[in-house]
Amino acid sequence: MDFYHNSQFTYLKGSQVNFASTWQKALHSSSSHQLYYLSDGEVLLTMDSKVLTLKKNSLCLIPAATPIALQGKSKGKLFKCSFDAKVYQNLDLFDLIQLPHFLKAEKSLLTEQLFKQLINKNQQDAFERATIIQLLLCPFLKLAQKKEGAQALSRLVPVFDYIEENIKYSPRLDDLAKLIDLDKNYFNSFFRKSMGLSPGQYIQQRKIKAACNMLANHVNVSKITQELDFYDTSHFCRIFKKEMNETPKSFLKRLNQNPSI
């Protein structure tokens, strides 16, 4: 199965930066994926302790939760968009396939035009934006390789769906195991082996993801605590900081600052 044929791409935000040789930007790891296009100039990119030089017409795909730093080497122009890529509504596409991080745009003029259309504030059509993201990712997707364990993840699709639908009620292990006809203990082991974390840890991550969306929509901490079934606000804040490496307050402050990149 080519997972990306069943993928849903969601545009989150984007920007264009005209930079000078003195420009620098350190980026916190993001919960969304990032796609960059360097239409002119040169940039030093630091990722995973490696420093790479991006040249004109470079495309750069940064998976979620990957911190990077950017530094201009000359005058130039950089486009960026943040997006989600989901399979069956809640599986992350990039958990299932391996993609290169860097490519050279084969059609530079078209790539820039697509990015400009994508980040245009007057562009409100979500379907059109999703289509543009897929077009921009096409050179990467052509080189996609299935990750080990992708088939096991496919089997867990009903579990992921159930968790999303019942995230406010802290789904029980017994109920999750029954969805795919497994014994509770075997299911727990199967989930850990497939996902690299326990069902409880996964549910916790999904709760915090939901909390981030609620914070972004101005829902207060007390209501989030209640709606997502945390013990109390202290418990919620502690789990949030553990997952996000920052408090809900600092997350909101960073969100409100809305940096250009």
Domains detected in the chain: 3-146 (2.60.120.280), 156-257 (1.10.10.60)
Predicted structure pTM score:
0.65
> What spatial distance separates the first Cα and last Cα of the chain, rounded to whole Å?
35
Q: 256 in the Ramachandran plot: left (φ > 0), alpha (ψ -120 to 50) or beta?
A: alpha
Give the pair of three-digit tokens for residue 253.
């402050």
pLDDT for 1 equals 45
Mean confidence (pLDDT) of the chain: 88
pLDDT at 109: 96
Nearest C-alpha neighbor of 81 from the set 61, 52, 101, 58: 61
Q: Which residue has the higher pLDDT, 261 or 130?
A: 130
Nearest CA-CA partner of 63 in 44, 82, 42, 45: 82
Token pair belonging to 203: 């549910």
Lowest mean pLDDT among 56-70, 80-94, 129-143, 144-158: 144-158
Cα dist from 19 to 120, 140, 240, whole Å = 19, 26, 34
Question: Average pLDDT of 217-221?
Answer: 91
CA angle 65, 98, 12 (to 5 degrees): 45
Cα–Cα distances in angstroms (integers) from residue 65 to residues 1, 28, 30, 214, in the given order: 26, 8, 5, 20
Residue 88 scores a pLDDT above 70: no
pLDDT of residue 149: 66
